[in-house]
Homo-oligomer: A and B are copies of this chain.
């Protein structure tokens, strides 16, 4: 069911939201389906490495969804169950699928979420801090012992409302994942390369700028890498694409047991492959139906799409 058998390192610890989403796109509509950054990232990472999920759900969280995550070898010892309802998000997309329009956010049990790492999780080598309040990201960093790699995500809301704490997080992580609008907003630079450099100046050794359908750009102090978007003719629901990308990236690194520039490049392609599947259907439906053979095949397609000869 996955490449986990080949995993040389790991596991991967993922901290973030588990949610029920109601989404409308020009291609369909769903109500209260499994979502949340940690769900997407965990299932994506699980293709490459064992995963530990830290999050919170309410009393209404379905056993079916617990079972589906567990089937993917996602360890749920860190998934708290709190009195109340699971976090809910509702939104829609128009034909510009890069732009989500939120119609309702009910934090519910997520409101008082305090990530508590089980003792057995504190030595996890690979950590992905999905988009949550930067203060909570810091509290996870305070609980974990000498991770090999810390990857963090964020969103415009924290840039606008918790910038100082976010900068503390960035100073303590190895790879910052942000979308193009976010790096521009954080740094006040309209030029993407200058903005990326601004993020590097805040601390992380690597910034990966997600550009939606245009792919991703990785920058470090001495290297650039550009990854294309996979050319999909049918995108049904872009929800979770960025989180799936992140999970695939971290999982792939754990599988390889390396975080050098060469491995990072392949990890970005692996993350892009995973994200390209997620958007083919609503919720995690495509990921749950995905085979490792399909992952490898699409990776090879991207190789074929990008290769060109010497001058």
B-binding residues in A (CB < 8 A): 95-96, 190-194, 197, 211, 213-215, 217, 219, 224-229, 231-235, 262, 265-266, 268-270, 296, 299-300, 303, 305-311
Asked, given contacts A224-B231, A231-B217, whether A269 binds B308 with beta carbons under 8 Å apart, the answer is yes
Chain B min CB distance to A18 (Å): 29
Contacts of A192 in B (CB 8 A): 213, 231
A121–B229 alpha-carbon span in the complex (Å): 41
Contacts of A224 in B (CB 8 A): 231, 305
A296–B311 alpha-carbon span in the complex (Å): 7
Instruction: Show 20 A/B contacts (Cβ-Cβ < 8 Å), sorted by A.
Output: A191-B234, A193-B232, A197-B233, A225-B308, A226-B228, A226-B229, A226-B231, A226-B305, A226-B306, A262-B308, A262-B309, A265-B309, A266-B308, A266-B309, A266-B310, A266-B311, A269-B308, A300-B311, A303-B308, A306-B306
Contacts of A214 in B (CB 8 A): 211, 214-215
Chain B min CB distance to A49 (Å): 15
Q: Interface SS of chain A: helix, strand, loop or mixed? A: mixed
Among A192, A197, A262, A299, max chain B CB count under 10 A is at A192
Contacts of A215 in B (CB 8 A): 214, 226, 228
A252–B300 alpha-carbon span in the complex (Å): 28
A192–B214 alpha-carbon span in the complex (Å): 11
Chain B residue with minimal CB distance to A269? Answer: B308
A300–B192 alpha-carbon span in the complex (Å): 21
Beta-carbon contact of B95 and A225 below 8 Å:
no
Contacts of A307 in B (CB 8 A): 265
Contacts of A305 in B (CB 8 A): 224-226
A95–B231 alpha-carbon span in the complex (Å): 28
A279–B311 alpha-carbon span in the complex (Å): 21
A234–B193 alpha-carbon span in the complex (Å): 9
Chain B residue with minimal CB distance to A95? Answer: B190
Asked, given contacts A300-B311, A310-B303, A311-B296, whether A235 binds B191 with beta carbons under 8 Å apart, the answer is yes
5 further contact pairs, Cβ within 8 A, besides A191-B233, A299-B311, A306-B308: A96-B190, A225-B308, A226-B306, A303-B308, A303-B310
Contacts of A270 in B (CB 8 A): 311
Among A225, A265, A308, A309, max chain B CB count under 10 A is at A308
Chain B residue with minimal CB distance to A227? Answer: B308
A219–B5 alpha-carbon span in the complex (Å): 37
A181–B58 alpha-carbon span in the complex (Å): 45
A211–B211 alpha-carbon span in the complex (Å): 13
Beta-carbon contact of B194 and A233 below 8 Å:
yes
A95–B224 alpha-carbon span in the complex (Å): 23
